[in-house]
Each structure stands twice: as C-alpha cells, then as structure tokens.
Chains A and B, each alone.
Chain A
Amino acid sequence: MSGLVITRRRLLGMFGATGAAAALSACGSSLGGGGESSSGGEQGGAVKIGLVVPQAGVYAPVGLDLQRGWDLWLEQHDGKIGGFTATTVVGDEGETPQTGVAAVQRLLQSDNCDVLVGVVSSATALGVRDLVTESKKLLLVANAGAEDITGKAASPYIWRTSFTNGQVSGVMGRYLAEQGTKDGVFVLAPDYAAGAEATAGFQTAYEAAGGAIAGSAKPPFGKTQDYQPFLSQIQSSGAKATFCFFAGAEAVAFVKQYRQFGLADTIPLYGSGFLTEGGVLTAQGAAALGVQTSLHYTSELDNEHNKDFVAAYKKKYDAVPTVYSVQTWDAAGVLDRALKSAKATDGDALSKALDGVGSIDDSPRGEWSFEGQTPKQKFYVREVKQAGEGFVNAVIAETEPVGQDS
C-alpha cells in the first residue's frame, strides 16, 4: 500500500461532498413557521400518504404484505382515495425505533405527508405519538398491537385498523375454557411487552371462564433458538394443552420443535394467530398440522369480499394474502370513507370523520367497526389443514365482535 495518495482526510472530503450534494436538496429554512404542520391537501383534491413499513430486516416480510395490501386497494380504485388523487411515499421503519422515528419525521417534515399509515413496531408507534399529535396529522396504525396505543397513550390523531395483543389471545382463552380444557393449560410467551400483553389477555379471559393455568414460562425474546428446556417444562407440568404467543422466526422454531419433541401428539397446541400466519406457515410445513389459533382474519374466510380480495391479490402478487395485507387494505377503505366525509386532509377533520364512520361492511375480514379508535371485530378460530401442496388456516369457529377491553 505504499505510495497511496488517498488519505482519510480526502476520503472524508469526498463523502462530505456527496453529503453536501444530498443536503443541497434539503435546502430551505428551518426558521419561521413555528414548527407547525404545513398546510397540505389544499392543492385541489390531492392527498399525500406516508406508508411507514419495515423494508429490510426481520420484519421485512410483514412490511411487504402491508405494502401489498395498500397498493392493491389503490390499484383497484384507480389511484383515488375518498375523491382525492393519492400519492404514496414509503418510509422505511427499519428494525429499531431509532429508524422508525426518523422515518416518521422525514415523512412529516420533509415529504409533507397529510396522512400516515402503517407502523409494525409498538415501540415506534408509541414513540411517535407526541410527534403526530403535535403535527395534527392522522396516523392509521396498521399493525402495532400494544394496548397503550389506543389506551393509556391514546391520541385523537392515532387510529388503528389492526388488533391489540390481548384481544387476539383473549378469544383463545374463552374458546379453550368453553371447549372443556378447564384445567391444565400451559402458557408460553417470550419475555417482552407484546408477549406479556398476550399472556395477560389469555389468562384473564381463560380464568374468567373458569379455567386454571397449569404453569407458565417466558423464553428470552430474540435470544432463544432452542426451546427444549421449555418443552420439558410443559411435559413435567402435566398440562393438557399449551397456549403460546410467538411470531416470525420464533414461531417457526417453536412449532417445529414442538412436533420434533413429540408433544404435538399428546398436548394439543393453541396459539395467537401470528403463530401460523403467512410465510411462517410455509416454513413450518407439516409440523403445524392441527395447531389451532385465533385471529381476526384468514385467507380461507368464506365471504364475498374476501373471495374477491384473495383472487385479486393472487393475480397481482402470485401469493396468498395475510392478515397484514388486510389491515392496510382496510386502512385504505377507512381513509376513503373519512376523506369522502371530511372533504379535507388535515388531522382534525379526518379524526372527526372517523368518529362517525360507522360500520365497515365491505372488509375481507367481515363486518367490523371502531371502538375506542381500534377495531371491534369478529374473531375466527382456525386450524392448520393440508390444502393440496401447501397448508392453510381453515376456519373451525367464529366469535361475536370483540373489542379491545374484552
């Protein structure tokens, strides 16, 4: 490397120049305006929507489904939403709230979006609450499941079209108690906020209906690849059934190992729907057969709107839609109604319009409505069954509409 003329100073200079070029496009002035929201949406019937989804990293598959649901709705409605022409700007939520908050800031401050849709991580959703509220822009959360988002930390500008963690598992709690597994359910969820909420939701509902827990465990979140110690614990507890909450890679590992260790034949496995939803089910394959879960959607739903939705989705993407696709599809539908009614794009008008939006009757998931700014919806108990070459979540039971506090 002798005789090399490039020094670090010059390298930094080159990067600095590139950065400056990027910065030039960021020119303007931060002074004046008092940090208020820009007056968007008044350019004659156009609305700019910021889609906040993870584009890379462990949550990228969820982000992809979210984006697909959104894009499909717009395509089916000629790119118009609520009478306005829609422009979608995608912001990468990334893997941590650091990038999530930055993405939301960029969409609000730099791209001047009127409405925000998306957000997978609950920490990010909670973290941008003040930012969104101070900017007076509407945020439609299309995935994040923490109760506080529409509970303790609720804001008139934050509405949700997805679920709360406790809501989903509470359904399974009631179902199991009614099915006769009155005593001896072992509860398992990773040691983080969503896991704790899911466990609490299940336990409250299950015990209220007369059930008794046989034991519980909390595998370290993100740090467990081998579930043998917990599987042994389930066996030695004498449990008659297992209820668990896992998503993503942990769901794949757990369900596979549950079968590998022979528990699948003797201690039936139940779970919150994310255990077998989407790409996770493809990876689990036959190991997931017979697993029953509760969720507010499955691609097998037998209603008009879902049949059309699934057909269109398959045609465009050559893939089966998941609950995530439906959540943004419905977000678009809801925003459509709100814009039609408010005829404006600012947060106050839209929030007021959402209050009066009533029942959503054309959703693939069935009829639902807002309660406390989050969906009150029907839930389905699904069982994994073989369908041709692959596997699906077939519906075996349906519930009455359930809100977030049940």
Chain B
Amino acid sequence: MTRVVRTGMPVVAWLALAAAPVFLAPYATTTLARMLVFGLLAASLALLVGVTGLPSLGHAAYFGAGAYAAGWFAKNVSTTAPLSLLIAAATGGVVAAATGWVAVRARGVFFLVLTLAIGEIVLQVAEVWESMTGGSNGLYGIPATTIGGEPVVHPAYLYWFVLAVFAVGFAVLWLVVRSPYGTALRGIHDNEPRMRAIGYPTALYKYTVFVIAGTVAGLAGGLFAVQQRLVTPADVGFTTAALALLAVIIGGAGSLWGACAGAGLVILVRDSLGPTLDGHGPLVLGVVFVLVVYLMPRGVAGIRLRRAS
C-alpha cells in the first residue's frame, strides 16, 4: 500500500498541476504560477540547506541576478522563449561561482551572516547600476516571452510554460539529490570531518553544490522575470531570501517537494490571507514557523523519510 502511495502521489501531483488551469479561475492560475516560481527557488535552497547543511540567507542574490539578466535580455535582445531563461541560469551560476569560493570557507552562523552580506551587496549593486537594472524603480516593461513568434500572455498558457520550466529545474535538482554525489552531500551534512577523512574533497563538493543551487535559482529568477515582467531590488535582497528560507524550513529542510509546498504556503499567506488580515500576514507566518520548528520529527528520521522524493 505504501509503495503504491509513494509512487502514486508524485504522479497525481504532477497531473493535478498540469490540469490546474482547466479548473481554476485566472487569478488563481496566476497565483499558482507564482508559487511554482518561488517553489523552484525554495527547492534550490533546500539543496543547500537541507541536503548539504549550508543555511544561506543570501540565496535571493542569484535569483535576482538571473531575473535581471533575463529581463534585460528580453527587453534589449530577444524575447524568444528559452533564450532569456538560459541567460538567467548562466548568470545565476556565474554569480554563485564568483561568491561561492568565499562562502564555503565559512560554517554555521558565519556562513549565514556571510551569505546575508553577499545578498545585501548584490542588492546594492542592483540599486546603483541603473543603466542595467533601472535602479530602485526596477526593470519594468519587460516584454512577454514569445514561442514561435507569439507572445505568451494568456494566464493558462503562461502557467503551462512556467510549469514546464519548473519541471526541468526540479528534475535537475532531483537528479542531483538521487545521485551518488547527492548521497555524498548528505554525508557532508551529517559529518564533514569523517567524509574528509575517508577521502572526499568536501570543499570542492560544497562549492559545486553552491554553484548548482545558484544556477537553478537563476533559472527560477528568469522564470520570475517572465511571469511578473518586473524586477526590482526587493527581489534580490534579504526579504526574498528570508521568504525562501521560511519556505524551506516549513516544508522540511531535506525535501525538495516539501520546499515547493512550503513556498506555496508562504505565497498563499502573503498574497491571499495577508489582505484579509489587514496586512498582518507575517504574524501568521511567524506562528506557522514556530509551530513547524517545534513539531518537526526528531533528528535523522525526518530526513530519511524524504529521501525518496
């Protein structure tokens, strides 16, 4: 029974996601698309935080870098569908590579604060580099992405495009987690000195996972630019990074699909519940957060439960 449920649930979930626009009103579809974009960001962060044990508060920097790159590309070069996304992923990867060598030398709280610093520095660059990013007004007027010359504006078609790219990004992360490389990452999370002792180059592993996570975050950023058609410095800094971290923790640090579900919840609370609570959505998020941290199953068992996803 559990075997059927285990393999059946993901299939049902993907089918439900694919069929969503048929049953949901346009705004709900748009919201679901937004959740997918953040879900991909959160899943890439889950790779860092949950699998490898590197808690980053600056992951939005790669998301934002990718978003700006995709937006700029769409405005100035071409709107053909996959191009801006490839540029976005590459930009995220490059920025992650540039900052990663510094980041992985630190551990625990120092890593947390250093990634926060990196995120804030990238945010300042976004504010100051007006010719590329539009400064504090943001990069607005990003044209809709085009497939075969036709702009994708209809909420349902845009959603399916987002879902397709999300699937690709998620698949990349899933493959990394399932591979021997992913197992080694978990080993590093559990006991880095021991992994080093048996011969793994842990620094290199941490650096490469940082770059992979940054690349997927960049891809999510490109998708964000396609979906929202506006990129502002707020998307690069601590606010977005904290939301992503919240999503990862709520969903279960070692779980990719959990991070996506967590992102969905965070977006739901912020955009849908927030207005009805007079804008006090963060209060609900804080309570949920505290509850989740308390109720998480003890130790390793919680993580092991997620390995199959």
> Which interface residue of A95, A193, A196 has the most chain B CB atoms within 10 A?
A193
In addition to A15-B288, A26-B27, 6 A-B residue pairs with Cβ atoms within 8 Å of each other are: A26-B24, A28-B28, A35-B26, A56-B280, A110-B26, A131-B229
Q: Determine if B113 is an interface residue (Cβ-Cβ < 8 Å).
A: no
Question: Which of the residues B22, B27, B137 comes within 8 Å of A126, measured between beta carbons?
Answer: B137
Cβ < 8 Å to B, chain A residues 84-109: 90-92, 94-99, 101-103, 105-106, 109
The answer to whether B268 and A98 have CB atoms under 8 Å apart is: no
What is the CB-to-nearest-CB distance from A131 to chain B, in angstroms, rounded to a whole number?
A: 8
**Interface segment out of the listed B77-85, B178-186, B295-303:** B295-303
Question: Which of the residues B26, B138, B258, B292 comes within 8 Å of A127, measured between beta carbons?
Answer: B138
> Which interface residue of A27, A126, A153 has the most chain B CB atoms within 10 A?
A126
Q: Determine if A210 is an interface residue (Cβ-Cβ < 8 Å).
A: no
Q: Determine if A43 is an interface residue (Cβ-Cβ < 8 Å).
A: no
**A60 vs B166: C-alpha distance in the bound complex, in angstroms?**
35
The answer to whether B153 and A106 have CB atoms under 8 Å apart is: no
Taking A97-B138, A99-B270 as contacts, is the C-beta distance between A60 and B279 under 8 angstroms? yes
Cβ < 8 Å to B, chain A residues 129-147: 129-131, 134, 146
Residues of B within 8 A of A102 (CB): 31, 34, 271
Chain A: CB-nearest residue to B262: A12
State the total of A-B contacts with C-beta under 8 angstroms: 172
Question: Which of the residues B140, B234, B275, B292 comes within 8 Å of A91, measured between beta carbons?
Answer: B275
Residues of B within 8 A of A8 (CB): 251-252, 258, 292, 295-297, 302
The answer to whether B24 and A191 have CB atoms under 8 Å apart is: no
Q: Determine if B25 is an interface residue (Cβ-Cβ < 8 Å).
A: yes
Chain B: CB-nearest residue to A134: B153
Residues of A within 8 A of B239 (CB): 95-96
Residues of B within 8 A of A134 (CB): 153
Interface membership of chain A positions 193-218, coded 1 if the CB is closer than 8 angstroms to chain B and 0 otherwise: 11010000000000000000000000
What is the CB-to-nearest-CB distance from B223 to chain A, in angstroms, rounded to a whole number?
A: 14
The answer to whether A92 and B21 have CB atoms under 8 Å apart is: no
The answer to whether B25 and A55 have CB atoms under 8 Å apart is: no
Residues of A within 8 A of B264 (CB): 19
Residues of B within 8 A of A23 (CB): 24, 28
Q: Determine if A341 is an interface residue (Cβ-Cβ < 8 Å).
A: no
**A7 vs B270: C-alpha distance in the bound complex, in angstroms?**
24
Residues of A within 8 A of B270 (CB): 94, 99
The answer to whether A98 and B229 have CB atoms under 8 Å apart is: no
**A395 vs B215: C-alpha distance in the bound complex, in angstroms?**
57
**A194 vs B305: C-alpha distance in the bound complex, in angstroms?**
51
22 interchain pairs (CB within 8 A)? Answer: A1-B294, A8-B296, A12-B261, A12-B265, A28-B24, A29-B23, A30-B24, A30-B28, A31-B21, A35-B153, A55-B275, A56-B280, A60-B279, A94-B270, A94-B274, A99-B270, A123-B136, A123-B230, A123-B232, A127-B140, A127-B232, A153-B140
**A71 vs B279: C-alpha distance in the bound complex, in angstroms?**
19
Taking A27-B25, A31-B22, A35-B26 as contacts, is the C-beta distance between A193 and B275 under 8 angstroms? no
Chain A: CB-nearest residue to B268: A19
B contact residues, range = 35 or more
What is the CB-to-nearest-CB distance from A53 to chain B, in angstroms, rounded to a whole number?
A: 10
What is the CB-to-nearest-CB distance from B229 to chain A, in angstroms, rounded to a whole number?
A: 6
The answer to whether A109 and B30 have CB atoms under 8 Å apart is: yes
What is the CB-to-nearest-CB distance from A257 to chain B, in angstroms, rounded to a whole number?
A: 23
Taking A4-B295, A7-B297, A109-B27 as contacts, is the C-beta distance between A29 and B21 under 8 angstroms? yes
Chain B: CB-nearest residue to A36: B154
Residues of A within 8 A of B261 (CB): 12, 16
Question: Which of the residues B26, B229, B271, B292 comes within 8 Å of A30, measured between beta carbons?
Answer: B26
Taking A12-B258, A27-B25 as contacts, is the C-beta distance between A109 and B155 under 8 angstroms? yes
Q: Determine if A387 is an interface residue (Cβ-Cβ < 8 Å).
A: no
Residues of A within 8 A of B111 (CB): none
**A12 vs B255: C-alpha distance in the bound complex, in angstroms?**
13
Main secondary structure of the interface of A (DSSP, over half): helix
Question: Which of the residues B21, B156, B229, B232 comes within 8 Å of A130, measured between beta carbons?
Answer: B229
Residues of B within 8 A of A94 (CB): 270, 274, 279
**A55 vs B277: C-alpha distance in the bound complex, in angstroms?**
10
Q: Determine if A57 is an interface residue (Cβ-Cβ < 8 Å).
A: yes
Question: Which of the residues A15, A30, A55, A127 comes within 8 Å of B155, measured between beta carbons?
Answer: A30
Chain B: CB-nearest residue to A152: B141
Residues of A within 8 A of B294 (CB): 1
Chain B: CB-nearest residue to A89: B275
Residues of A within 8 A of B21 (CB): 29-31
Q: Determine if A261 is an interface residue (Cβ-Cβ < 8 Å).
A: no
**A16 vs B291: C-alpha distance in the bound complex, in angstroms?**
16
What is the CB-to-nearest-CB distance from B148 to chain A, in angstroms, rounded to a whole number?
A: 17
Q: Determine if B68 is an interface residue (Cβ-Cβ < 8 Å).
A: no
Chain B: CB-nearest residue to A13: B261
The answer to whether A97 and B155 have CB atoms under 8 Å apart is: no
Residues of A within 8 A of B240 (CB): 98
The answer to whether B137 and A101 have CB atoms under 8 Å apart is: no
**A26 vs B305: C-alpha distance in the bound complex, in angstroms?**
33
The answer to whether B136 and A127 have CB atoms under 8 Å apart is: no
**A102 vs B296: C-alpha distance in the bound complex, in angstroms?**
32
The answer to whether B278 and A192 have CB atoms under 8 Å apart is: no
Q: Determine if B127 is an interface residue (Cβ-Cβ < 8 Å).
A: yes
Q: Determine if A229 is an interface residue (Cβ-Cβ < 8 Å).
A: no
What is the CB-to-nearest-CB distance from B299 to chain A, in angstroms, rounded to a whole number?
A: 11
Residues of B within 8 A of A192 (CB): 127, 135-136
Interface membership of chain B positions 108-138, coded 1 if the CB is closer than 8 angstroms to chain A and 0 otherwise: 0000000000000000000110000001111
Chain B: CB-nearest residue to A8: B252
The 6 closest A-B pairs by CB, nearest first: A56-B279, A127-B230, A28-B25, A26-B28, A110-B27, A55-B279
What is the CB-to-nearest-CB distance from A327 to chain B, in angstroms, rounded to a whole number?
A: 20
Chain A: CB-nearest residue to B30: A105
